[in-house]
Amino acid sequence: MLVPLLTTPAFGAAPLLPEDYEQVIPSENGTLNIGLSIDPPAKANEVSKLHIGWIKPGFNKIQQHIDYKITVIKDGQNIFGPISLTHTSVGTVKIPVEFTSNGEHQVKIEMEGILFQPIPLETTYFTINVGKVQIQNAIVESAPGSSTPGCEPDCFVPSTVTIENGGTVTFANPDNAVHTSTSGTPADGPNGIWNSGMVRSGSSFTTLALEIGEYPYFCIVHPWMTGLVIVGNELPQTEVPETNQKNNEEGGGCLIATAAFGSEMAPQVQFLREIRDGTVMSTQSGTAFMTGFNQFYYSFSPAVADYERENPIFKEAVKVTLTPMLTSLTLLNYVDIDSESEMLGYGIGIILLNIGMYFVVPAVLIIAIKKKFRK
């Protein structure tokens, strides 16, 4: 009964929320915002994962179904990628990258499609300093309709952001009305630290680097719009659950599928990762299942993956064997799973479908062939 998830990546952390990304930058034409976090912090000759998410401006929600390419550049040379055009159905990806040296790197993200529709190429660049503490920047948006009272306290989204010492805040305006971002309070007026001036719809403003402290701000045109920027010496550290720590130590990936398709960046492996993070791990029953399943999966998958690498014929056989299961799992992209009962129902359905494909159909064919030869 475990066939459908034998190759699902284990111990996956839930995808980041839009406000959790270390850096958020509007795409080249402002169609979407793109978030980037790196975990663990980038160090030379070590593997870190790029957590990337595509975010709807004005709604602060992940945009699903994105076609993208990723390249990591150092001194004008590609150290990773570009990967071939890849699709993410959930709108977030985790990409392992080994940084070979310290210093400034650029992460180049090319977006070519949204919701299965091609769009003009939009290229976004992130700068990261390998071996140095990353300065976290933030992006804040004026909420749609905030030009009239009633949006309080979330007229700016998010209304409170925390960044590191030396970070910046970008104020984007997806609303139809003109807004400002002005440091200070409506009661005391501007304090002179920053003033965006009039930011028209579709435009943005970025502060200079900010020092440690708390910075209230407001919109001069619509003074009920208020927010707060907190600049700290260090960002709060998030505790990593023990299961995720174990996952990082053991590789945390889909070992069998990765060995079969040759890379963690293979579309088939990315798809399995998305199903795990975006569907299975989205419910308590799915998370409980994965916790128990991991103990079983890692008891044999390293040996199977090693044998795949040593034996090309076996590798191709595994690849062919995985194809029906991958096809059946695509059904989960076309259903909405919003409750525990739906997760159990669809999960059991997929399991029964795979039992039929892998065991019942072959058994029926074998019996039919035996009967034919007996005649």
Q: Do residues 220 and 154 both lie within one domain?
A: yes
Q: How many domains does the chain have?
A: 3
How far is the CA of 110 from the CAs of 52, 122, 172, in angstroms?
12, 6, 21
Q: Do residues 266 and 357 both lie within one domain?
A: yes
Q: Which two tokens stand for residue 191?
A: 């304090």
Check: pTM over 0.75? Answer yes or no.
no
Residue 301: closest CA among 352, 361, 346, 250: 250
Q: Do residues 214 and 171 both lie within one domain?
A: yes
pLDDT averaged over consecutive 10-residue blocks of the chain (375 residues)?
A: 36 58 87 90 85 87 89 88 84 86 89 87 88 70 87 88 86 89 88 89 88 91 90 51 36 66 72 70 68 67 77 85 78 68 74 77 80 73
The answer to the question of residue 18 being in a domain is: no
3-state secondary structure 311-323: CHHHHHHHHHHHH
Q: Do residues 116 and 163 both lie within one domain?
A: no
Residue where a domain terminates, one of 131, 153, 186: 131
Q: Which two tokens stand for residue 34?
A: 């793109």
For residue 135, the model assigns a pLDDT of 52
The answer to the question of residue 16 being in a domain is: no
The answer to the question of residue 285 being in a domain is: yes
What CATH number is attached to the domain comprising 179?
2.60.40.420
For residue 346, the model assigns a pLDDT of 73
Domain span including residue 317? 3-11+240-374
